[in-house]
Amino acid sequence: MKSLLFMSLALGLIAIASALTCKSCRFRALSFCILKSSSSEVDCPSGGNCSSTKVYLGSFNLFDKQSCDNPCVEGKNKTDSTFGFQYDTTCCNTNLCNSGTSAKMSVFVGLGMGLLWLLNVV
């Protein structure tokens, strides 16, 4: 009986120690999280995976979303039925694996710089 209790306790501690930590942000644009949960990192329940979703309008990246999904369903070029945006979802299973920074920030910076240049010219 003691060994069964010890084994249950050990398995419970292993499950707690091996909890997956994911970045969490409901709306990320320009590499800044605008709508985040109470914490920017969340513990993912057993069986869940970290996910990163990128939403596009044509080939232009509108925003990203980071979360923990259970189950996480990967997909490329899916279309949102409400707004018609295309999106890609990737899943991963290591700590903070969905924390990649957006390379699209350079597009926004370039557009902003072009707009400022146009305003100064006029």
Please state the φ and ψ torsions of residue 109, each to the nearest 5 degrees.
-65, -45
Q: What is each CA distance from 96 to 21, 90, 112, in whole angstroms?
A: 6, 13, 30
Percent of the chain at pLDDT > 70 equals: 66
Structure-token pair, residue 26: 């409901």
Over range 23-48, report the average pLDDT. 85
Tallying the residues shown for the chain, one arrives at 122
| Rounded Cα–Cα distance for residues 100 and 20 (Å) | 16
Bridge partners (DSSP) of residue 79 are 86
How high is the mean pLDDT of the chain? 77
Asked if 54 contacts 88 with a C-beta cutoff of 8 angstroms, the reply is yes
Of 6-10, 16-20, 21-25, the poorest mean pLDDT is in 6-10
How much is the pLDDT for 25?
92
Asked if 71 contacts 89 with a C-beta cutoff of 8 angstroms, the reply is no
